[in-house]
Amino acid sequence: MLAFFKVVCYIPLYNGLIFLIWLIPGASVAVAVVLFTALIKLLLFPLSYKAAKFQFEMKAHEAELNRIKEQFKNDKQAQGKAVLDFYRERGVNPFAGILPVLIQIPLVISLYYIFLRSGLPVVDTSLLYHFSPLPTPNMFFVGVDIGAKSVVLAVLAGVTQFFQARLAIPPVAPAASGTPSLSHDMARGMQFQMKYVLPVFMGFVAYQVSAAVALYFITSNLFAVGQEIFMRRQFKKGAVHSTHL
């Protein structure tokens, strides 16, 4: 399984990064990291869009679903049937958001390991295709060695992760019964960790590894923020349009 993952995801992406470094004037690794991350995010955007659209549809039906769950709270079998019937009536596929996420996972993991263990400025020639160029990577950008640690970029990685999580993670809805349940408390705890603990952890990791990883996190987070704003506007336009039909 690991060998398949390496051949299908890791090696092609590694060669893509090396090619981009070779293509950029001055072989700037920093510029290559930004462009490479943005390019991969753009390629994954259709999948991200489908997953986000599903989440938006679920959010739009949240109040009705809560009423159904409350109505059949003492009969889980009837509750499940009522929820599935609701999905069928509204034309919502409850599994529509799973496949796009599953497809993205190996690519995202590959990107992470590329920047975590690339070994740059040394190029691992054992991973290169026979036709791949062999650049001499330039690790300096505006006076910063992105192969070393950078407090500034690590802090920026944590800050951008905070804003990305704050924008992407919706507030936990009040408990339907009025009394918080265990699952409701767990959801609130998870939201707190994603919004406040994860950014600190990301900043810590970015500093411990290298500025290249921090730059990858920053670019990825900024792209995700822009993507989230764009998709929200698109979905709102679609919702307004559908109400006027």
pLDDT digits (tens), the chain, 245 positions: 678 788 888 999 999 999 999 999 999 999 999 999 999 889 888 888 877 777 777 777 778 888 887 888 788 888 888 888 888 887 777 666 676 667 777 877 887 788 877 778 889 999 999 999 999 999 998 888 988 899 999 999 999 999 988 887 766 555 555 555 555 566 667 777 778 888 999 899 889 888 888 999 999 999 989 988 888 888 777 654 444 44
Tokens 């690339």 locate to 118
Q: Could you tell me if 51 and 97 are in contact, meaning their C-beta atoms sit under 8 angstroms apart?
A: yes
Q: Which two tokens stand for residue 108?
A: 């995202």
Render the burial of 156-188: b for 16+ CB within 10 Å, e for the rest. bbbebbbebbeebeeebeeeeeeeeeeebeeee
Cβ atoms of 160 and 174 closer than 8 Å: no
Find, among 33, 179, 207, the residue nearest to 120 by Cα.
Answer: 33
CB 139 within 8 A of CB 147: yes
Quick check: pTM over 0.85?
Answer: no
Task: Supply the range of the domain harboring residue 14.
Answer: 2-243
Structure tokens at 124: 């691992």
Q: How many domains does the chain have?
A: 1
How many other C-beta atoms can be found within 10 angstroms of the C-beta atom of residue 140? 15
Say what angle helices 198-209 and 151-168 make with each other, to 10 degrees: 150
